[in-house]
Amino acid sequence: MTNENALSVQTERNEKAVIVCPVGRVDGSNVGVLESAIRELLDAGQKTLIFDFEELNYISSAGLRVLLVTARRTQAEGGKALFCGLAEHIAHVFEISGFTNILTICQSRSEALAAL
Amino acid sequence: MTTSPVRLLVVDDEEDLELLIRQKFRRRIRKGEFDFVFAHNGQEALEKLAENPDIHLVLSDINMPVMDGLALLSKLEDTNPDVQAVIVSAYGDMENIRTAMNRGAFDFVTKPINFDDLEITIEKTLNHIRALETAQEARDRLVVLKRELDVAQQVQMSALPKEIPSSETHDVQALMIPALEVGGDFYDFFPLSDELIGLVIADVSGKGIPAALFTLMTRTLLKGTARDSPSPADCLSRVNDLLAEDNETCIFITLFYGVFDLRDGVFRYSNGGHNPPRLVRSDSRIEEIPPTENLVLGIAPGHEYRNGEVRLAPGDALFLYTDGITEAQNTNDEEFGEERLDTKLASLGQVSARDIVTTVVDEVRAFAGDAPQSDDITCIAMRFAAPLSSSTVDGT
């Protein structure tokens, strides 16, 4: 059972980074969609990613794992992963899990771009 | 791939077909690709099939004495369902051909036989047979995997603590409903001494076998560490270091571990990125166990975990849970949420730990209704009845 319809991943190219916007919900059944979209970008040589979670309704722990792997890989390749646009309940998940301390969280997309 | 020849059965009452077949396919017979077995009527064909269980393709005429080709097809459906038949019939004999197809023939060729066409038909039928065999093997493997998953589930469930009888001082009860055969949640409770009880609840990222392996590993590490150090933070720091070593997959676990002191009601705990448990006061006030602002386990070696402390009075209860409770969805995609949880906990009054967990889980399931369960649901409740007095210690 996959729930691929519940998630689409849109990307926008900026001169400084690629902005990744997951739309919908990321859970165990469709996390592969997000994972392969990210892998495609990184395999193509993209080093810096900004995740804009404006349109993200829900992310499960399986999705958080993919974000960790991405942060680790971009760092290892001399790039960076930033996260912005977190709705209140998603920010809450990041806080409880302690991810706010290990991932770079920005208020907005412009703040994320300025941080690069 | 098999190196032995593919054995085919040819059924025809005309003796010269045998010669013709041997002649036309002589190269493939010599190369060891094909091996033909011959029968002269349906009855004989069934006997040959019984003698040669490796035959999966039958090439059969329709008009034959004793048992004709159509009767043979009917028999094959029952006795040899894995055998595919190609019918040989006179050109224009559409009625018989239709009957043969309806009785399960895979294909047909017409007389006089065009041997190039026959060879293509045989190859096509053999490919079909191989595809069926591959599908069957895949199904068999799935059955084996399913059986192994069932065993894995038994191993996982048997690793959970058995019920402990309630005592004058306290009672503990846990409830877990995995979403898949093997889950990514676990709980544990164990006495560390006559006075101290350890309580654990945890949730691994993801589900299935990888998550199950990670939970078993974490549970074992924590239980081992818990005996060496009375400080929950110390235990989490050590377990985290061990889990984080070479963890390239970034599988992580949120884990809450606390030690309850039956003498004075003090609960010392450390929270590795897990949903904060609830303290249900005897007057039904609900308090969130204050966070220790710590990270999930498994991804940052060297992370220093901190202790927190709350004190329970007799009549107070602790409720530990995983996000399978608060994130349970109903058919309108609404989440159960912390508010509903707290409201339910506040409405319970002085009930046993068993009543706390069953009532909350029943409430969650009633809320979810027909919506599928997407995550493991796990919770533990512990009610503190009375402090351990020296006489109680003497009495045990």
Q: A68, B204: Cβ pair inside 8 Å?
A: no
pLDDT at A54 over 90: yes
pLDDT in tens, A25-42: 998 888 999 999 999 999
Read off the amino acid at residue B122.
I
Is there a single domain that holds both residue B122 and residue B163?
Answer: no
The residue with greater pLDDT, B133 or B272, is: B272
Residue at a domain's end among B104, B139, B174 = B139
- Selection from B179-193, B202-216, B307-321, B377-391 with the highest mean pLDDT: B307-321
Provide the whole-model pTM: 0.77
Is there a single domain that holds both residue B70 and residue B119?
Answer: yes
Looking at the DSSP bridge assignments, the partners of residue B197 are B191, B260
pLDDT in tens, A76-107: 999 999 999 999 989 999 999 999 989 999 99
CB atoms within 10 A of CB A29: 18
pLDDT at B152 over 90: no
B85 is a domain residue: yes
Please report the residues numbered 250 through 309 in chain B whose beta carbons come closer than 8 angstroms to any beta carbon of chain A.
250-252, 254, 272-276, 291, 293-296, 299-300
Which domains are present in chain A? Answer: 7-114 (3.30.750.24)
Which of B203, B206, B300 is closest, CB to CB, to A65? Answer: B206
Is there a single domain that holds both residue B15 and residue B116?
Answer: yes
The residue with greater pLDDT, A70 or B213, is: A70
pLDDT at A2 over 60: no
Task: Report the distance separating Cα B375 and Cα A59, nearest Å.
Answer: 13
Mean pLDDT computed over B170-184:
86
The residue with greater pLDDT, B1 or B226, is: B226
**Does the CB of B204 have a partner CB in chain A at under 8 Å?**
yes
**Does the CB of B224 have a partner CB in chain A at under 8 Å?**
no
B300 is a domain residue: yes
pLDDT in tens, B313-370: 999 999 999 999 999 999 998 999 999 999 999 999 889 999 999 999 999 999 999 9
- Read off the pLDDT band of B303 (50, 70, 90): very high
What is the structure's pLDDT at B395?
42
Q: Which residues of B touch A98 (CB under 8 A)?
A: 272-273, 293-296
Q: A96, B207: Cβ pair inside 8 Å?
A: no
Is there a single domain that holds both residue B122 and residue B190?
Answer: no
What is the structure's pLDDT at B3?
67
What is the structure's pLDDT at B394?
46
Q: B206, A97: Cβ pair inside 8 Å?
A: no
Is-contact B152 B183, C-beta < 8 A? no
Instruction: Chain A: give the shortest CA distance to residue B40, in Å.
Output: 51
Q: Phi and psi of B196, rounded to 5°?
A: -115, 135
Please give the residue range of the domain that contains residue B227: 159-395
- What ipTM was assigned to the predicted interfaces of this complex? 0.87
CATH of the domain at B14: 3.40.50.2300
The CA-atom distances, in angstroms, between A63 and each of A9, A30, B274, B316, B351 are 13, 9, 16, 36, 38
Instruction: Chain B: give the shortest CA distance to residue A58, in Å.
Output: 10
Which of A61, A72, A96 is closest, CB to CB, to B206? Answer: A61
